[in-house]
Amino acid sequence: MSLSLPSSSPSSSSVSSVPSSLSLPAVVVRLRAVGCVFAEDEAELLVSTARTPAELAAMVERRVAGLPLEHVLGWAEFAGLRIAVDAGVFVPRRRTEVLAREALALARLAVGAPRPGRPARSAGPAAVPSRAVVVDLCCGSGAVGAVLAGSLEGIELYAADIEPAAVRCARRNIGDRGLVYEGDLYDPLPASLRGRVDVLVANAPYVPTEAIEFLPPEARIHEPRVALDGGSDGLEIQRRVTAGAAEWLAPGGHLLVETSERQAPRTVAAFARGGLVPRVVSCEDLDATVVVGTLPAPGPAAGGSGGAVVRPAVGIPVGAR
């Protein structure tokens, strides 16, 4: 997850009343006055989203008071999609587009691929490819699942999150293209998915507890702690995900987890302990690090994609890059 959202975060100290009718330049001035770095861009978004002058005034007021822009707008842009994000729900970060892109590439390979116990549904020119089973764990707003469902036909999508507000949001974003469950990690998933998941993606919280206080206020104050706090070293939830993955993955299936460059060696070790063969994908432009693990299967394993740098996982001094 990105922790760099709010360089533009306005301070709440100079809030004053906002006139009921605001022009675009007036909104820019208002946002700039409270230290908003991207005042012009934000003002345009606010003006184009508000349906009435009163709504615009209320939105500007909320932004000036320090709410994340996405919570004020009610949506975030993610991989070209407009993802609904309610107050109290984690705002999907640009860097997570790398996770979505890698998951999409692997899901694409899985659609129609023959798998043990899942024979092709038909043969010949009218063959119907078999569906790939995709799970978005710790789905939050459902942004990653929504990208997969929106980009690829022939996937069976399941998502889950422990936060009721996130689950409600994910259901709106995923709609009838998948099922969204509420509960702790794998607990709410249908038992019938055990051993059948082709792509398991999990952007679990990975901020170490003691680093939470240094997060920008937009995250620290307005996003739920459960979406950020990864325990003492940040990897407690990730380790539970990696420990359980082999039980749910199909042979040759993949687990993808976002992490930080600094934490990547420990994430990689957790993958290996979970019986997965890990590799690291990084994208400097988006400051993104993703670990992809494959459950060994008889026959050739599928590769990755996405245009990001792929590094073998063994012995990489990730922090030294």
Ligand X SMILES: C[S@@+](CC[C@H](N)C(=O)[O-])C[C@H]1O[C@@H](n2cnc3c(N)ncnc32)[C@H](O)[C@@H]1O
Contact footprint for ligand X (CB under 6 A):
1, 90, 92, 96, 138-141, 143-144, 161-163, 166, 184-185, 203-205, 226-227, 237
Q: Which two tokens stand for residue 69?
A: 């822009």
Q: Which is nearer to ligand X, 13 or 285 (CB)?
A: 285
Crossing angle for the helix pair 264-273 and 236-248, to the nearest 10 degrees: 30
Q: Which is nearer to ligand X, 18 or 202 (CB)?
A: 202
Q: Is 113 exposed, middle or buried (0-12, 13-18, 19+ CB in 10 A)?
A: middle
Distance of closest approach, residue 302 Cβ to ligand X, in angstroms: 23
Q: Which is nearer to ligand X, 55 or 187 (CB)?
A: 187
Q: Which is nearer to ligand X, 205 or 278 (CB)?
A: 205
Q: Which of 91, 37, 49 is nearest to 67 (CA)?
A: 91
Report CA 315 to chain centroid distance, whole Å: 27
Distance of closest approach, residue 220 Cβ to ligand X, in angstroms: 13
| Residues 136/145, Cβ–Cβ less than 8 Å | yes
Q: Which is nearer to ligand X, 169 or 280 (CB)?
A: 169
Q: Which is nearer to ligand X, 34 or 219 (CB)?
A: 219
Distance of closest approach, residue 138 Cβ to ligand X, in angstroms: 3
Q: Which is nearer to ligand X, 39 or 133 (CB)?
A: 133
Q: Measure Cα distances from 233 to 43, 78, 139, 239 in Å.
A: 38, 28, 21, 11
Distance of closest approach, residue 222 Cβ to ligand X, in angstroms: 13
Distance of closest approach, residue 188 Cβ to ligand X, in angstroms: 9
Distance of closest approach, residue 233 Cβ to ligand X, in angstroms: 15
Distance of closest approach, residue 145 Cβ to ligand X, in angstroms: 8
Residue nearest to ligand X (CB): 140
